[in-house]
Amino acid sequence: MTASSVAPYSRTAVDRYTTAALVEGDAEAVDQFVARVLHRAHEAAEARNAPSEARAILDVAQMFADELIAGDPGFDRLSFVVAATEGPS
């Protein structure tokens, strides 16, 4: 992934958002945030015709899903992976 394909968000702002969502108990917002970031990266890889990179992002999405389901057995793993790699942006 090149620097130009990364959204112009500061790490501090992202960290504050994620920390606030976790502190407030809004795990769903964090799930959606992670899926949205992975989705943008996956779309960018596909647009560049970079199947290896797209596959790596799919693998990362699946790893996140595994961690999320470990913490919440009711977590919808399939929907998360689809949203991260195939769903609408």
Query: How do residues 16-29 score in pLDDT, each as one tens digit?
Result: 665 665 556 666 67
Q: Identify the domain containing residue 67 by its residue range.
A: 26-89
- Domain total in the chain: 1
The CA distance from 1 to 48, in Å, is 10
35 inside domain: yes
Query: How do residues 35-59 score in pLDDT, each as one tens digit?
Result: 999 999 999 999 999 999 999 999 9
10 inside domain: no
pLDDT confidence band for 6 (50 / 70 / 90): very low
18 inside domain: no
15 inside domain: no
The CA distance from 81 to 68, in Å, is 11
Asked if the model's pLDDT at residue 7 lies above 90, the reply is no
Does this model's pTM top 0.85? My answer is no
11 inside domain: no
88 inside domain: yes
